[in-house]
């Protein structure tokens, strides 16, 4: 039986690479998998995003081959990387690590586990991996993470970090 793992999509991988905090993923995930398609998506950004190369190099250590897409994933018509992440999650105890809203709806409809960039930071704070979540979240937002300010404030308040 395969052990529990986090299956990474490109967005969280790129965001944490941009802020040079891929270590948080390594410290929290019981194991990491990155489908080939996701690595290729990250490499496609190398021309305009210098952090993409570092992210892809990191991801290659956790590379897994692409799978044939099951019909229940294919019908969602998601990005190929997200489809691969979800397909891998159907094969055992896996957490889909992704931020895309449509992909998250697919994961939820299939009853799979998931975590996004915000959840990773919140988990890092709760587990004592980082002393405060707000600075890391601010860095992610500066790096391109899209999240409503109200959502961020509710999430931070839930772990005891208020904006006083």
Domain extent listing, the chain = 5-158
Protein fold of 5-158: Rossmann fold (3.40.50)
More confident residue, 20 or 162: 20
3-state helix, strand, coil in the chain (%, to 5): 50, 10, 35
How far lies 32's CA from each of 22, 26, 143, 153, in Å?
11, 8, 22, 29
Of 104, 15, 5, the closest CA to residue 58 belongs to: 15
Q: pLDDT tens-digit profile of 67-124?
A: 999 999 999 999 999 999 999 999 988 999 999 999 999 999 999 999 999 999 999 9
How far apart CA 150 and CA 15 sit, in angstroms, is: 20
Q: What pLDDT was estimated at residue 98?
A: 97
Angular region, 117: left φ>0, alpha ψ -120 to 50, beta rest: alpha
Q: What distance lies between CA 11 and its chain's CA centroid? A: 6
Q: pLDDT tens-digit profile of 35-78?
A: 999 999 999 988 888 888 999 999 999 999 999 999 999 999 99
Of 51, 44, 48, 49, the closest CA to residue 20 belongs to: 51
Q: What pLDDT was estimated at residue 164?
A: 60
How far apart CA 11 and CA 34 sit, in angstroms, is: 12
How far apart CA 157 and CA 164 sit, in angstroms, is: 11
Q: Where is 69: in which H helix or E strand?
A: none
123-146 burial, b if ≥16 CB within 10 A, otherwise e? Answer: bbbeeeebeebbebbebbbebebe
């Amino acid at each position: 039986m395969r052990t529990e793992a986090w299956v990474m999509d490109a967005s969280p991988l790129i965001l944490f690479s941009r802020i040079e905090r891929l270590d948080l993923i390594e410290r929290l995930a019981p194991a990491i998998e990155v489908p080939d398609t996701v690595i290729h998506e990250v490499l496609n950004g190398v021309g305009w995003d210098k952090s993409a190369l570092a992210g892809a190099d990191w991801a290659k250590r956790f590379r897994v081959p692409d799978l044939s897409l099951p019909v229940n994933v294919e019908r969602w018509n998601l990005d190929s990387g997200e489809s691969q992440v979800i397909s891998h999650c159907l094969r055992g105890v896996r957490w889909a690590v992704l931020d895309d809203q449509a992909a998250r709806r697919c994961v939820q409809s299939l009853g799979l586990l998931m975590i996004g960039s915000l959840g990773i930071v919140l988990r890092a704070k709760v587990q004592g991996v980082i002393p405060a979540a707000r600075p890391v979240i601010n860095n992610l937002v500066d790096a391109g993470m899209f999240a409503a300010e109200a959502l961020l404030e509710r999430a931070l308040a839930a772990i005891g970090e208020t904006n006083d």
